[in-house]
């Protein structure tokens, strides 16, 4: 069995049939990850107990216990998700040394389904970034070309999965943080509908936008992992009690008659030639497969990026207030604590603990929520957000799935945009609307640039219609021009 190409289903079936042990699978990926990680810097932490966890799975199989659909499947987890007994930093110095007392619901559900967690993955600090360059733990590299960023904020998840250091990874997506790095690294990534996946135990960046999702090599794997992590959670009152479809069982490449919407406002040549080319070829493919193409208009997407930055920064300024150096994580060293004013204690700890991008957003958000400004900024953005959602609801009356690029360009070079925050923010132009409107979105690879960098295309559905985008993604994957192509670091 080729572990690098085996699907979740292949592995769990083989492990359950004792054709291969969970320990063997775990050791294979651990060895590979430890060997390639110095090049990629995708992992921030390796789970020392991974093999012990795998032994338990094997023992349960021998004991005849009926295990879940991810038995023996090896996962890496973005460092935004709490893992019991394993450091969780959110890519920040301020959470250095923090070991959570419990697992995030997503992690608990993966483990419950038999998955083995081999470690924690690099990311932009508190998920604020599109290149993984804001991580306190160093740049993560794109396996297709290590001079390039893997995207962000789930850069470590994308990089590790792209180089097959894992069988699957979990990322989080607040404004594109699963889809953009998936596109940059040539993997499949899905951001579920807001409320599909529990946020309990996920370090909050922007609570009304955050959502975790799987990042995998195939659409089928994504569907299966999504099935496992979805569903109502009593610890998160924003989760929906809608029943969870068996996404992996319902998958089909038959998209005949399906209505694919193109957003009129996205068309004015915003993307570079490579992206346009991949997008057009994917569109042609969909037409050939019998999909019907319709044009939809969502004028407010023009304001999606500013809306996103106002709302996410505002929520972040409040969510990040708890990192004060009092109970856990980083605390500045003080010579004379007794003569120190409380505000100075907070000030110095936070000034040292948060990186520049995080500080920028905390200040931006604090300003947007301040008396005298809240109506003009935060409240206004929330109002426009509701209108944007309405425009999407209208659009989805005309189509099943909205089709668009993920980003305007393929991965860029490390350092290329890090000096210019506004340029960096425009990376999110095609992705933030999905979060603002609470939709489901995914990225599926469909080509390579002239510089041999992956390019994905984006599929978006109305809330709770993940099956539709998974089906379209599967259809595209079945004829993918990048099938069998591997990155340089592999």
Partner 1 sequence: MSIDQNKINNEVVTEIQNHFIRGYEAVIGIEVHVQLKTKSKIFCSDSTHFDAADNENTSPVSVGMPGTLPVLNRQVVKMAIKTGLALGCKIQEKSVFARKNYFYPDLSKGYQISQFNQPTCEHGKVYFYVGNSKKIVSITRAHLEEDAGKSTHFGQYTLINYNRAGIPLLEIVSGPDLRSAIEAAEYAKTIRNIVQYLDVCDGNLEEGSLRCDCNVSVRKIGAPKLGTRVEIKNLNSFRFIEKAVDYEIERQIDTLDSGGQIFQETRLYDPDKNRTVVMRTKEDDDDYRYFSDPDLLPLLLRPSDIEKMRAQLPELPLEKLERFKNQFSLPQADCEILTSDRNLADYFESAGKISNNYKSAANWVMGELLRELHQNKIEILKSPIKSEHLAELIQMIDQNKISGKIAKVVFSEMWLTSKTANTIVSEKGYTQVSDSKAIEQIIDAVLLENPTQIADYKSGKTKVFGFFVGAIMKQSKGQANPDIVNKILKQRLESK
Q: Which residues are at the interface with partner 1 (CB under 8 A)?
A: 81-82, 88, 90, 95, 98, 100-102, 104, 199-204, 206-208, 234-238, 314-315, 317-318, 320-324, 326-328, 337-338, 342-343, 346, 366, 369-371, 374, 378
3-state secondary structure of 78: strand
Least distance from C-beta 153 to partner 1, angstroms?
Answer: 16
Least distance from C-beta 354 to partner 1, angstroms?
Answer: 13
**Strand ranges of the sheet holding 440-448, from the earlier edge strand across to the other edge:** 43-46, 116-121, 74-78, 168-173, 211-216, 188-191, 440-448, 454-461, 401-405, 259-263, 292-296
What single-letter DSSP state applies at residue 375?
I
Nearest by Cα to 89 from 329, 319, 315? 329
Written as six digits, the tokens of 304 are 């999606």
Query: Is the CB of 55 or the CB of 366 nearer to partner 1?
Result: 366
Pick the catalytic residue from 159, 177, 198, 449: 177
Query: Is the CB of 236 or the CB of 276 nearer to partner 1?
Result: 236
Query: Is the CB of 369 or the CB of 459 nearer to partner 1?
Result: 369
Strands 440-448 and 188-191: antiparallel
Least distance from C-beta 322 to partner 1, angstroms?
Answer: 5
Contact assessment for residue 216 and residue 61, using Cβ atoms and an 8 Å cutoff:
no
153 is catalytic: yes
CA 238, chain centre distance (Å): 19
Least distance from C-beta 112 to partner 1, angstroms?
Answer: 18
Q: How many residues does the chain have?
A: 490
Query: Is the CB of 349 or the CB of 407 nearer to partner 1?
Result: 349
Least distance from C-beta 127 to partner 1, angstroms?
Answer: 13
Token match 């390019």: residue? 455
Least distance from C-beta 462 to partner 1, angstroms?
Answer: 20
Q: Alpha-carbon distance 184 to 145, whole Å?
A: 11
Nearest by Cα to 268 from 308, 293, 306, 297? 297
154 is catalytic: no
Q: Alpha-carbon distance 362 to 467, whole Å?
A: 36
Query: Is the CB of 329 or the CB of 447 nearer to partner 1?
Result: 329
3-state secondary structure of 67: coil
Pick the catalytic residue from 78, 93, 141, 417: 78
Q: Is 171 exposed, middle or buried (0-12, 13-18, 19+ CB in 10 A)?
A: buried
259 is catalytic: no
Query: Is the CB of 90 or the CB of 305 nearer to partner 1?
Result: 90
Q: Which residues are catalytic?
A: 78, 153, 177
């Amino acid at each position: 069995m080729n572990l690098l190409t085996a699907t979740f289903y292949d592995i769990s079936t083989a492990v359950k049939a004792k054709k291969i042990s969970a320990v063997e699978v775990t050791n294979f990926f651990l060895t590979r990850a430890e060997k390639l990680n110095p090049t990629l810097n995708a992992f921030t932490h390796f789970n020392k107990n991974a093999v012990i966890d795998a032994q338990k799975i094997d023992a349960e199989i021998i004991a005849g216990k009926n295990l879940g659909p991810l038995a023996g499947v090896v996962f890496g987890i973005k460092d935004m998700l709490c893992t019991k007994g394993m450091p969780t930093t959110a890519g920040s110095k301020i959470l250095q040394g923090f070991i959570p007392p419990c697992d995030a619901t997503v992690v608990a559900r993966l483990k419950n389904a038999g998955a083995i967690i081999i470690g924690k993955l690099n990311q932009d600090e508190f998920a604020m970034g599109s290149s993984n360059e804001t991580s306190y733990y160093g740049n993560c590299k794109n396996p297709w070309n290590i001079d390039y960023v893997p995207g962000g904020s789930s850069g470590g998840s994308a990089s590790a999965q792209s180089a097959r250091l894992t069988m699957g990874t979990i990322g989080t997506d607040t404004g594109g943080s699963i889809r953009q790095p998936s596109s940059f690294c040539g993997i499949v990534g899905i951001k579920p509908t807001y409320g599909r996946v529990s946020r309990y135990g996920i370090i909050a960046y922007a609570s009304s936008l955050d959502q975790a999702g799987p990042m995998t090599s195939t659409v089928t794997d994504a569907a299966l992992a999504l099935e496992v992590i979805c569903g109502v959670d009593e610890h998160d009152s924003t989760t929906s009690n809608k029943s969870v479809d068996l996404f992996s069982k319902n998958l089909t490449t038959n998209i005949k008659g399906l209505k694919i919407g193109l957003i009129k406002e996205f068309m004015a040549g915003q993307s570079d030639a490579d992206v346009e080319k991949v997008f057009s070829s994917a569109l042609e493919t969909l037409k050939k497969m019998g999909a019907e193409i319709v044009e939809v208009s969502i004028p407010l997407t023009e304001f999606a990026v500013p809306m996103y930055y106002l709302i996410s920064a505002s929520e972040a300024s409040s969510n990040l207030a708890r990192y004060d150096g009092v109970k856990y994580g980083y605390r500045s060293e003080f010579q004379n604590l007794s003569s120190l004013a409380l505000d100075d204690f907070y000030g110095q700890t936070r000034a040292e603990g948060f990186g520049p991008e995080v500080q920028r957003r905390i200040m931006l958000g604090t300003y947007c929520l301040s008396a005298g400004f809240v109506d003009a900024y935060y409240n206004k953005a929330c109002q426009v957000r509701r209108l944007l959602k309405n425009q999407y609801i209208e659009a989805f009356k005309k189509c099943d799935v909205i089709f668009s690029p993920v980003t305007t360009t393929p991965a860029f070079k490390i350092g290329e945009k890090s000096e210019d925050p506004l340029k960096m923010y425009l990376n999110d132009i095609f992705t933030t609307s999905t979060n603002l409107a609470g939709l489901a979105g995914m990225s599926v690879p469909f080509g390579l640039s002239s510089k041999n960098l992956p390019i994905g295309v984006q599929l978006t559905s109305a809330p709770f219609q993940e099956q539709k985008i998974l089906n379209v993604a599967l259809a595209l994957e079945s004829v993918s021009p990048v099938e069998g192509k591997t990155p340089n670091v592999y």
